[in-house]
Amino acid sequence: MQSTDILKGKKRKSKTARPERIMRPMDLPFLLLVILLLSIGTIMMFSASYATAYYKESSSAHFLIRQGAVGVAGVALMLFISRMNYQSFRMLSFGALAVAVVLLGLVLIPGIGKKGGGATRWLQFGPISVQPSEIAKLAVIMTFATMASAFREKMKTFRYGILPFAIILAVICGLMWAQPHLSGMILIAVVGGTLMFVGGVHWGWFAAVAAIAVVGIWFIMTNMSHSIARLQIWRDPWSDAQGDGYQIIQSLYAVGSGGLLGLGIGKSRQKYLYLPEQQNDFVFAIVCEELGFVGACVVLVLFALLVIRGYWIAVKARDRFGSLLATGVTTLFAVQVFLNIAVVTNLIPTTGVSLPFFSYGGSALLIQLVEMGIVLSVSRQIPAQRSG
């Protein structure tokens, strides 16, 4: 009788000390939205790129084959990661950050970094081109989520809530400034700041940083010749219609000529070597031209639903670390979509931000699908709702 009671007591104690993590099915709405956006994005990337692919590579399916192969591998990797316990990313976070810093440093070494579009942002490994900034974005999310979940109440102090995060951002952004990669710096700064705010940093610090940022941006825009020229082109692209304003003018032609219902898939005119980078940063202009206002709005609604669902998963997450992970990934996705569409429509000056799932780019697509897998992993441990 006594031994039975002891055994029962041990069982009861073990259950209390080590709560079981129940792996539930992944969030189906989030998964379906990812697959749907990826499918639409691949179709539109092919439609936007086949003229350029035929002209440069003698194969209209050149970009489609590469993007499709990465997409299939990325979906498989996303599903694999979704079945992992997301707590594993705590242990991987600082290692990933170290790798990102090393790769960003290698980009700056003459003869190693690959140049393109006036910047050095890529590393070439045989036939594979990698953009280290994409790895840095995910590494910052993982590291900040780990630190903010560990420090908890200490996040309101300068020593724990500001200093270590600021050092990491300074190192990453400094390496990206040297490339230069302004849009990547903006994305990492916004995501890092969001995680610090959600993690518990007092809002007063953000007010001070925002004031400094406004002064810094004003100084850059009014004293650096490159920034002054870019600002002038943004305000009036037709002031240099055959030069720096050419790309945004062709983008606006594509957006405007789509009308209400569009010209139809495959029937864009601007993709015939008029609009530069039509399969990359300006693919949304082709979406507007071929699918029209209605089709573009449908795409935007799908993006919005994915962002909303991502934040829902963050709110419902099992613990603080999972919530911060999902918040960071979703914020990165949302800001990137906004910046890309704002550039294409000339709402803001050109920054060189790709559109997730739509723009051509193997390393970017692969990392994006890895990030979606992390959110799905968080969703698999959402506690069940108790009835009654």
> What pLDDT, in 10s, does the model give residues 57-107?
899 999 999 999 999 999 999 999 999 999 999 999 999 999 999 999 999
Distance, CA of 375 to CA of 30 (rounded, Å): 9
* ∠ CA 107-96-27, rounded to 5°: 120
Distance, CA of 196 to CA of 206 (rounded, Å): 9
Least confident of 152-156, 283-287, 294-298, 363-367: 152-156
Task: Give the Cβ contact number of residue 244 at 10 Å.
Answer: 16
- Across 310-315, average pLDDT: 97
Quick one: pLDDT at residue 152?
A: 86
228-267 pLDDT tens trace: 677 788 888 998 888 889 999 999 999 999 999 999 999 9
Q: Give the three-state DSSP class for 16.
A: helix
DSSP single-letter state for residue 26: P
Measure CA 202 to chain center: 26
Measure CA 97 to chain center: 16
Distance, CA of 326 to CA of 316 (rounded, Å): 10
User: Residue 358: phi, psi to the nearest 5?
Assistant: -110, -45
Q: Which residue type sits at 190?
A: V
CA quadruple 252, 253, 257, 259: dihedral, nearest 10: 10
DSSP for 136-153?
HHHHHHHHHHHHHHHHGG
136-161 pLDDT tens trace: 999 999 999 999 999 988 998 989 99
3-61 pLDDT tens trace: 444 334 444 444 433 444 667 889 999 999 999 999 999 999 999 999 999 999 899 99
Per-residue tokens: 287 = 């979406």
With cut-offs at 50, 70 and 90, classify the pLDDT of residue 123: confident
Query: What percentage of the chain exceeds 90 in pLDDT?
Result: 67
Distance, CA of 327 to CA of 193 (rounded, Å): 12
Strands, DSSP E only, in 7-130? 113-116, 119-125, 128-130
- Across 125-136, average pLDDT: 85
**Cβ-count burial of 265 within 10 angstroms (0-12 exposed, 13-18 middle, 19+ buried)?**
middle
Q: Any idea where the domains of the chain sit in the sequence?
A: 26-379
CA pseudo-torsion sign 272, 119, 105, 173? negative
Quick one: pLDDT at residue 178?
A: 87
* Residue positions counted in the chain: 388
Q: Give the three-state DSSP class for 119.
A: strand
Spatial contact of 181 and 103, defined as CB atoms under 8 Å apart: no
Distance, CA of 289 to CA of 167 (rounded, Å): 44
Task: Give the Cβ contact number of residue 197 at 10 Å.
Answer: 16
Would you call the peptide bond into 180 cis, given omega within 30 degrees of 0 as the criterion? yes
Distance, CA of 166 to CA of 326 (rounded, Å): 21
User: Residue 262: phi, psi to the nearest 5?
Assistant: 85, 170
Q: Give the three-state DSSP class for 114.
A: strand
With cut-offs at 50, 70 and 90, classify the pLDDT of residue 300: very high
The average confidence (pLDDT) of the chain is 88
